Structure 1
C-alpha cells in the first residue's frame, strides 16, 4: 500500500525530499548487506572451499534488482528533481533582484533624508552666523546630492531641484562670507586717478577687526577665523586672499618699498581692531636702504600674521589640500614683492667702489634675517630664494653695475665736445691708483724680483728721460678723462674675484672698442669740416695707443688668473688706433689739398700774365693758398706735435709749389713781362711759405728743426731753382747746369730745361748754343 502511494505521489510530481532520502538510505543498506553476503560467500567459496551455487544465484538476482532500482532512481532524478531545482533558482534570483531594488530605494531615501537634515542645519547655522558649521553642512548636502546622482538610470526630477537649491544656497553663503570679510578687513584707498605719486598713498588705510565676542567664558573662535575657514571649505579662500594680496601689494607694500619717506603706523583702536596707515617723514635719500625696507615690510606682515592670519590654525583636512592663510598669502605676494625689493632697493644699494664690498655683508645678513622671519610666520617656504641669491651675488652685481656705469660714462665722454683740450707734455702724468708692489709680503715674489735684476755695466748707455714719452701736443679733455676712467676701472679689478675682475677688464677693452666705433661716426661731419678737430682726433688716437702699449703690463701682476697669465693686454688694439688717427688726419689733409688745388685752378694756368685780369686771378690764387696755409698753421701749430705739424704743412706747401711748377713747365711761350710776373708770384711763396714753420715762443729750441723747410717740402729746392731761371740769362742757366753737375741739373732733366729755355728765350744762335750744352751727364 505504501509503495503504491509512493508511486502515485512520485508520478504526480509531488515526491518530497524526505522520501528520496529514505529510499536512498534504504538502498545504501541493501548494498551494504549484499556486499557483506558476497564477501562471505567468496570467503566460503575460495577460502573455506564450500561452494554454494544456489546462494550465488540468489545473490545475482538480488544484485540485478538493486541495479534496476538504481537506474529507475537515476532516471527520476534527471527528469523531475533537476526541473524542480531550476525553478527554485529562478525564483531565488527574482527575490534577490527585488531585494536589491528595495535596498537602493532605502539608500536613496536615506540620502534624501541626509540632504534635508543638512540643509536644515545649514539654514539654522547661517542664521546664527556659525559659518564653519554652515559650510560643512552645505558640503554634506552636496555630498548627498552627488551620491544620488551616482546611480545609473536614476533620473529623478527631484535631483534637478536639489542641484538648483545647492547652487542658490552656496551663493548665499559665499555672499554672507564676502560681506563679513569686507566688514572685518576694511580698505580705505586713494582714488585710482590719484594713485600716481607718493603723497596719494598717504590716504591708504587697512582696518582689521577680529569680530570676536565679549563673552570670555564661552571663548568662541573669532568671527574672522570662522569666515576664513568657511571660505576654505567652500574653495573660495584662494580667490579672496588673491584679491586681498593684490590690493595689499599695490597700495601698501610697494609704496613702502619704493618711497623712503613713507612709513607704516600700526595703532590699536578700542573696540574697532587694528589700523594700519601710511605716514610721511622727510628724508634726503632717493632710494630706501635694505634695512629700512625689511623693517617696514615686516611690520605690515607681522601685523597681518597677528591680527588676521596667525590665529587660524591649519584647516581640517578636506577634499582639497587646504593650507594656512599665511602660506597662501606668502605664495601670492612673495614673487612680486621680492622682485620689487631687488629693483627698487637692492639694485641701488650695490656699492660703486670695490672697497665698500666688505661692508655689504651687513645687507646680506639683514636679508637672511628678513627671510628667516618670513619663514617663522610661514609666509615663505624653501631656502633658495631669488632675493637672498641676489644679495649674496654682490660681486657679480657690483661688476655688472660698475660696467654699466662705466660704459654710460664713457659714451657720454665720447659724445661730448672735442674742442675742449688739455696740453700734454713729457711731464704730464695720469692719476694712476696706487697698486701693491709686486711680490710684497711674498717671498716667492721677492725671489723672482731678485732674479730679474740685471747688473749695470760701467759704460752702459742709459735711455733718455723723455724716451717713450709723448711729444708736446693737445688732446681732448674728454679723452684724458676717458683714460682716467679706464685706469680707475682696472684698479677696481685689482683684488676682486676672478669673475668680477674679468668682467671689469673686458669692460675697459669695450670702452676702447666703443671709442673706435663711436667717435669717428658721431663726429664724422665735424672731423671733415674743421681741421682743428681732425688734428685733435689724431692726437686723441695716438694718445690712447700710447697708453695701451703699457696699460696691460701695468695691471697684469695684480689681477687674478687667467688675466695675470697673459690675457690682460691691450697691445692688439694699438695698430687700430694708430691707423684710425692717421686716417682721420689724412682725410683732412686731402680736403685741404683739394681746396688748395681748386684755388690754384682759378689762376688761368698762369699764362698771359701781361694781361691785367690774368695776373690778378693768378695773384689772388697764390694769396689764397698762402692764407690757407697760414690759417692752418694757426689752427694746428699749438695742437699737433712739432714733427707732425711740420710734415703736414710741408706736404700742403709741397702740393702748392708742385702744382705751380707743373703749370709753369707747361707754358710754351713766356714773355719777359710774363716771366717777371711769374717771378714775383713765386717769390711771394718763397718769402711767405716758410713763415708757417716759424716756431712758437715756447718751441724756440726747435727753431732750427722747424726752419729746415726743404726737409718737409720735397719740391722746395726745385721751386727755388725755377724762380732763379725765370730771371736768369742763358749764360747763367748754362753755368747752373754745369754740364749736368750743377744745382739746376739736380732738380730738372735736360728735356724739361730745354723746354723751359725755349719758352723763355727767342730762337737765336745763342739759344741754340745754350740748348746744345744742356745734356744729361
Structure 2
C-alpha cells in the first residue's frame, strides 16, 4: 500500500510513471547493499589486513553515486512534492466545510421533520382527547423548535412561523384542558355585588362531576388524571391548583372556621356527581365555633376532595401534597386567629380541660398527614395549641389590661362606702410549704402575757378611714386580686407575666385617670375628692398586697421582692395633688368673691354695705355648698382640714382688709361687727362631714382646731364693739387673750382707726406695750 504522500501526488495527477515509493525503496536497497559492502571492506581492511585499495576506490565511486541520487531525490521532494501537499490540504479543507454545511442542512431537515410529525400526532391525540399524548407531542415540537433556534449558522425565516404555530396549538390545548376542568369542577358562587353575609355563603356550591356521561367515554378518574398530567407537562398545574385553592379557601374553608352556624353538606346527585354545599345550623347563637366542630367540618371537606379529586399522583408527587402546600399556611393561620385564640381558657382552673383541644388538634393533623396534605414534621397549629400556658398568660394579661382601662375610663361619681371594717374579698390561699415546715419544727411555747402597763395600738390604727371611693376603683382592686390569684395557680413564666400585668394596671391608673378625667377633676370638687380617696384607697392596699401573695407564688417570684410598696408614695402624691389643686381653685374663688366687698370701707354707704354683705354671704354659701358636696365622701379628718383651710383663707382676707382701714366710724364699726358676726355664727355650720346632724356638732365646736385664725377673728369682732378700757383689759399687759392674737402695733392701729385722738386714747395706747 502506498504512503500518504504518494496518494496525495496520485490524486493531484502529477506523479510520473515510476512510483516515487518504488524509487525510494530501490534507493534504500542500494544503500543497504553499499553499507554491507563497505562494512565487508572495512573488516577485510582492518580485520583481515588484505590489500584492497582498488576495491575501496570502486566503493567510493559507488558511494558518491548513491549520495548524488539521494540529493537529487531530496531536491525533487522539496520542490515538487511540497507544493502538491499545500494544494491538497486547501482542497481538503474546502471539502470539509462543504460536508459540515451539508450535515447542518440534514440536521435542520430532521428537526423540521420531527416538528411536523409531532404536530401531526398532537392534532390526532387532541381529537381523540388523549391529552397526555397531546401534551407530550407539543413538548416534543417545542424541543424541535428550540433545536432549530440553536442552529446559529443559519437564520431561517420559518422559525418564527413555527413558533407562532406552537403558541397557537398550546393555547388550543389549554383551552381543551380548561374546558375539561370546568366540566369536572363546577363552582356556583354568590354575586360579588351582594352583601357578604350568611345568605351569600349558603349560595356557595361545588360540584365534582366524576360520573361518566356516556358509556363510550373513558372513566372520569382517567379523564381527570389525563387533564392533570397534561397540565403538569405544560407547566400550568401549579397555577390551576393555586386558583382552585384560593377559591376554596375564600368560599368554603375559611367560612367554616369563622362562622359556627354553617354546616357542610355532602351529597351525590344524579347527573351532577358529588356536591358540596352549606346549610344553616338551627339554634346556633355562638360567636365562635369550638375547635372540635371546626376540625370535623374541615375534615369532611378535605376528605371528600381527597377521595374524589386530589388522590392523584403527578410526577411522583401527590396532588394533595401540592394542594396542602398552597393552603396550609393561610388555613392554619385562620384556625389560630379565628378559633384557637378564642378557645384559650380565661381561668387557670380550665387549663387541664384544654388537653382535649390539644388531642383533637393532634388527631386533625394526623388525618391530614394520612391524606398527605401535610408533611411529617410538627406544624404551627399544633405548636400553638401546645403552648397553651403562654397563650393563656398573654390572653389573660390582655383581657386584664382591657378590663382595667375600661374601668379607668368609666364615670368616677358612682361611689361605694368603705369603712374600717371593710375587707377585700381575698381568695383562700394555700399554706406555703416553708411556713408549714416551720410550724411543725417549732416547739410549743406558752403564750406571752402582755405587760400590764404596755401601751396598745388602736384596733383601727392600720385601717382606712370611712370615706367613699369609686365603684370602678374597687372593681379594679378586685381585678388585681383575681389576677394575682391566677398567678398562684400558674407556671413560673405565666405567673411572672400576670404579676407584672398587675403592676402595669396600677401604673396605667396613675397615667390614664388624671389625664382622661382632667377637665372634670378641675371642674367638679366632688370628683376631685373622690379621686383623692381613690388614690389613698389604692395606696392603702398596695402596702400589703405583695406581702399577702408573695409566699404563694411559684419560684423565682416567691424568692424575690414581690412588692407594690414602691408605688405607694406616687399614689399618695397623686391624690394629694389632685385635691390640693381643687382647694387652690376654691380658695381663688373665695378671694375673688371677697374682692367685691369694696375693701370693707365706708360701709355707711348703703351700696358699699350691700356689696360687702353680699360678698360675705357668697363666701358662706360657697363653703356650705362644698361642705354638702364633700359630706360623707372625704374622711372626716381630711374634710375638716379642707373646710378649715378654706374658712381660714376667707377670715384671713377679711382680717387683712379691716386691719388696713385707717378710719372706722362708729357706724362702720357696727356694720363690720355685723358682717364678722355673721361669719362667726354661720362659719362653724359649714362643718358637716357626716349625714347625721347630731354628730356634726362635735366638729362644729372644734372649729378653732381647724381654723388657725378663728380666735384672732373673734378677738377682732370684740374689738370692733369694745371701748378703750375693754381693749386694755383684754390686752392685760401682753398677757390677755388679745395679746395672744395681735401685736401691740396692730392693736394700736385698730385703736387709731376706731377712736378719735383724745387723752383717753393716748392713755390707753400707752398701756398697749
Q: Same fold (TM over 0.5)?
A: yes
CA contact (8 A) 1:118 1:140 kept: yes
Answering whether residue 587 of structure 2 is matched by residue 593 of structure 1, we say yes
Per-residue deviation, residues 705-751 of structure 1 (Å, max 9, x unmatched): 66322211110111111122122221221122121122211111111
- Matched with 1:770 is 764
The 3 A distance-change label for structure 1 pair 620 and 699 is closer
The 3 A distance-change label for structure 1 pair 706 and 480 is farther
Q: 1:724 aligns with which of 715, 718, 737?
A: 718
Q: CA deviation at 1:35?
A: 2.4
2:433 aligned counterpart, secondary structure: coil
CA contact (8 A) 2:543 2:564 kept: yes
The 3 A distance-change label for structure 1 pair 642 and 771 is same
- Matched with 2:5 is none
Q: 2:676 aligns with which of 668, 676, 682?
A: 682
State the alpha-carbon separation in 2 of the partners of residues 519 and 453 from structure 1: 51
CA contact (8 A) 1:210 1:222 kept: no
State the alpha-carbon separation in 1 of the partners of residues 519 and 412 from structure 2: 13
CA contact (8 A) 1:211 1:222 kept: no
2:585 aligned counterpart, secondary structure: helix
Q: 1:403 aligns with which of 393, 397, 408?
A: 397
CA contact (8 A) 2:640 2:689 kept: no
- Matched with 2:151 is 151
1:279 aligned counterpart, secondary structure: strand
- Matched with 1:296 is 297
CA contact (8 A) 1:253 1:337 kept: yes
Describe how 1:226-245 pairs up with structure 2 within 5 A.
226-245=226-245
Q: How many residues align?
A: 757
Describe how 1:657-736 pairs up with structure 2 within 5 A.
657-693=651-687, 696=690, 704=698, 707-736=701-730
The 3 A distance-change label for structure 1 pair 176 and 773 is same
Q: CA deviation at 1:371?
A: 2.2
Per-residue deviation, residues 37-82 of structure 1 (Å, max 9, x unmatched): 2222322333333342222222222222221111111112222222
Per-residue deviation, residues 543-589 of structure 1 (Å, max 9, x unmatched): 11111122222222233444334353222221221111111111111
CA contact (8 A) 2:627 2:689 kept: no
Q: Unaligned stretches of 5+ in structure 2? A: 1-8
State the alpha-carbon separation in 2 of the partners of residues 205 and 450 from structure 1: 77
Answering whether residue 247 of structure 2 is matched by residue 247 of structure 1, we say yes
Q: CA deviation at 1:474?
A: 0.6
Q: CA deviation at 1:348?
A: 1.2
CA contact (8 A) 2:690 2:696 kept: no
Q: 1:336 aligns with which of 330, 335, 345?
A: 330
CA contact (8 A) 2:684 2:700 kept: no
CA contact (8 A) 2:228 2:314 kept: no
- Matched with 1:207 is 207
2:277 aligned counterpart, secondary structure: strand
- Matched with 1:194 is 194
Per-residue deviation, residues 125-181 of structure 1 (Å, max 9, x unmatched): 111111111111111111112212210132223323222211111111111111111
The 3 A distance-change label for structure 1 pair 706 and 277 is same
CA contact (8 A) 1:212 1:223 kept: no
CA contact (8 A) 1:414 1:515 kept: yes
Q: Unaligned stretches of 5+ in structure 1? A: 1-8, 317-322
1:207 aligned counterpart, secondary structure: strand
- Matched with 2:552 is 558
State the alpha-carbon separation in 2 of the partners of residues 434 and 170 from structure 1: 78
State the alpha-carbon separation in 2 of the partners of residues 581 and 157 from structure 1: 93
State the alpha-carbon separation in 2 of the partners of residues 695 and 244 from structure 1: 76
Q: CA deviation at 1:687?
A: 2.1
CA contact (8 A) 1:548 1:570 kept: yes
CA contact (8 A) 1:195 1:201 kept: no
Which stretch shifts more, 165-174 or 81-90? 81-90
The 3 A distance-change label for structure 1 pair 37 and 307 is same
Answering whether residue 566 of structure 2 is matched by residue 572 of structure 1, we say yes
Q: 1:432 aligns with which of 426, 432, 455?
A: 426
- Matched with 2:6 is none
